[in-house]
Amino acid sequence: MKTTGITVRNFSHYYGQHQSLKNLNLDVYRNEILGIIGPAKSGKSTFLTCLNRLNDLIPGSRVEGKILIDNQDIYQPDVDVVALRRKLGLVFATPVPLPTTIYENVVYGVRLLGKNNHQELDDIVEDSLEKAGLWNEVKDRLKTSALKLSGGQQQRLCLARVLALKPEYIMLDEPTSGLDPISTMKIEDSLRILKNDFTIILVTNNTKQAARIADRTAFFLMGELIEIDETAIIFTRPSDERTEAYLQGKFG
Ligand SMILES: Nc1ncnc2c1ncn2[C@@H]1O[C@H](COP(=O)(O)OP(=O)(O)O)[C@@H](O)[C@H]1O
Ligand SMILES: [Mg+2]
């Protein structure tokens, strides 16, 4: 039985006069990996920032329609936006560790919440790094600079930082676009395990990545959702010819 986590209905987004998302309708199921593919400027990143209201920070940003997350209408004025952003953690394309230790990078957001108990923080660090698939590589050097880590390790550290805040949804925006194949594989392995406990939305510019790990895949084009279906169907018999053309590398 699939449980719906996110319901998007007749949802549009504008940057000033420019419409970046056009009347989207889709659901996200709990504990799935939903892949989002599509060429640049299709609105993929905008969609993620609409889901946790990061777009509120952009002047001129405006929405129409509805997004329900666990039955909460997230654009109602009484919504606790800070809690919403914690619930839907976002990992960006380029890992940006803070210029401090590995340990402090993981607990940074947690400390901002007022947690300072050493044992509790230690447990969060181990648990988050373990889930991000980084613990074994760094457990003996937690107090060394995060900036000395490789790019792939830094990206897993950024994932750990999001996990430390105990989100329910993990959104990743082209998280492996700058990484080598082995680092990419490590992140994909972590995501496959994480979906047991989290709901994952993965924007990827690498269609093969969606084919490898997404349960369902959505194809975005110029702000429109062209289609969304089981990944196997999208990749073998999509219903829209634009999806097929994109997957065949004819544009994008
Ligand atoms: N901060 C912004 N201000 C104005 N327009 C933006 C901004 N960010 C993105 N856009 C525009 O919105 C559209 C969707 O962009 P984006 O969501 O970044 O797409 P994608 O992630 O698929 O590349 C593009 O036309 C882009 O130029
Ligand atoms: Mg983007």
Stretch 215-219: mean pLDDT: 98
Long-range pairs of 212-216 with CB within 8 A, sequence gap ≥ 24:
212/188, 213/33, 213/35, 213/188, 214/33, 214/34, 214/35, 215/29, 215/32, 215/33, 215/34, 216/29, 216/32, 216/34, 216/35
Query: Strands, E, within 30-184: which ranges?
Result: 33-37, 61-69, 72-73, 88-91, 169-173
Stretch 194-198: mean pLDDT: 97
Domain that holds residue 79: 4-247
Neighbours of 106 (CB within 10 A): 28
- How many angstroms is it from 53 CA to the middle of ligand 2? 16
Residue range 25-35, pLDDT digits in tens: 999 999 999 99
Determine the pLDDT at residue 182.
Answer: 95
> Counting ligands in written order, which one lies closest to the CA of residue 218?
1
For a mutational test of ligand 1's pocket, the pick from 15, 47, 204, i.e. the residue with the most ligand atoms closer than 8 A to its C-beta, is 15
Residue 252 forms part of a structural domain: no
Which of 203, 217, 201, 224 shows the shortest CA–CA distance to 24? 224
Reported confidence tier of residue 242, pLDDT bands at 50, 70, 90: very high
Determine the pLDDT at residue 130.
Answer: 97
43 CB within 6 A, ligand 1: yes
Per the listing, tokens 């593919």 go with 37
Determine the pLDDT at residue 30.
Answer: 98
- How many angstroms is it from 114 CA to the middle of ligand 2? 33
CB 79 within 8 A of CB 85: no
Residue 206 forms part of a structural domain: yes
Reported confidence tier of residue 251, pLDDT bands at 50, 70, 90: confident
62 CB within 6 A, ligand 1: no
97 CB within 6 A, ligand 1: no
Structurally, the chain folds into a number of domains equal to 1
Which of 180, 209, 178, 189 shows the shortest CA–CA distance to 131? 189
Determine the pLDDT at residue 1.
Answer: 77
- Burial of 107 per CB tally in 10 Å (0-12, 13-18, 19+): buried
Above 90 in pLDDT, residue 172?
yes
Above 80 in pLDDT, residue 217?
yes
Stretch 46-69: mean pLDDT: 97
Stretch 127-135: mean pLDDT: 97
Determine the pLDDT at residue 252.
Answer: 81
Residue 168 forms part of a structural domain: yes
DSSP for residue 144:
S
> Counting ligands in written order, which one lies closest to the CA of residue 14?
1
Report d(CA 246, CA 243) in Å as an integer. Answer: 5
Per the listing, tokens 């920070």 go with 57
Question: What number does the ligand 1 atom closest to the CA of 45 have?
Answer: 21
61 CB within 6 A, ligand 1: no
Residue identifier of the C-alpha nearest atom 16 of ligand 1: 43
Residue 114 CA from chain centroid, whole number: 25
- The tokens describing 68, both together, are 């329900």
Here the CATH number for the domain that contains residue 132 is 3.40.50.300
- Average pLDDT for the chain: 97
Report d(CA 125, CA 241) in Å as an integer. Answer: 47
CB 50 within 8 A of CB 67: yes
Stretch 146-174: mean pLDDT: 97
Reported confidence tier of residue 222, pLDDT bands at 50, 70, 90: very high
18 CB within 6 A, ligand 1: yes
Q: What is the pTM (predicted TM-score) of this model?
A: 0.97
- The tokens describing 21, both together, are 């998302």
Residue range 78-111, pLDDT digits in tens: 999 999 999 999 999 999 999 999 999 999 999 9
> Counting ligands in written order, which one lies closest to the CA of residue 19?
1
> Counting ligands in written order, which one lies closest to the CA of residue 92?
2
Residue range 8-19, pLDDT digits in tens: 999 999 999 999
